[in-house]
């Protein structure tokens, strides 16, 4: 990846993250907090799942280390618990 592309992606990421609080405040006027959290995480899950499926079809792994297919059940259960309790609950309470 070129330096200009990396800088462009960093700027886009900062714009998205910076505007998320404004968008959340506007959305909460119309949508209840549990539904907004569910929509946000459903969209993120679908996007990450699509990227992982695309990389698997190309024969590549998402990153260094074990892939999800190689993860044992105990670690997978901990990861799911972290996602459900740690992250989802945190966002739900912050909304």
What is the per-residue pLDDT across 27-86, written as a single tens digit (0 to 9) for each?
Answer: 989 999 888 888 888 888 888 888 878 877 877 655 665 566 666 788 878 888 887 777
**What pTM does this model have?**
0.56
Q: How far apart are CA 62 and CA 68, in angstroms?
A: 9
Q: According to the model, what pLDDT value does residue 70 have?
A: 67
Q: Do the Cβ atoms of 39 and 46 come closer than 8 Å? A: no
Collapsing DSSP to helix, strand or coil, 52 comes out as helix
Q: Predicted confidence band at 11 (pLDDT cuts at 50, 70, 90)?
A: very high
Measure Cα distances from 67 to 9, 14, 83 in Å. 25, 28, 17
């Amino acid at each position: 990846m070129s330096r200009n592309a990396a800088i462009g992606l960093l700027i886009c990421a900062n714009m998205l993250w910076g505007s998320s609080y404004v968008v959340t405040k506007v959305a909460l006027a119309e949508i209840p907090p549990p539904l907004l959290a569910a929509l946000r995480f459903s969209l993120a899950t679908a996007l990450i799942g699509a990227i992982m499926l695309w990389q698997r079809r190309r024969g590549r792994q998402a990153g260094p280390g074990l892939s999800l297919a190689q993860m044992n059940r105990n670690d997978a259960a901990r990861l799911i618990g972290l996602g459900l309790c740690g992250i989802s609950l945190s966002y739900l309470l912050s909304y």
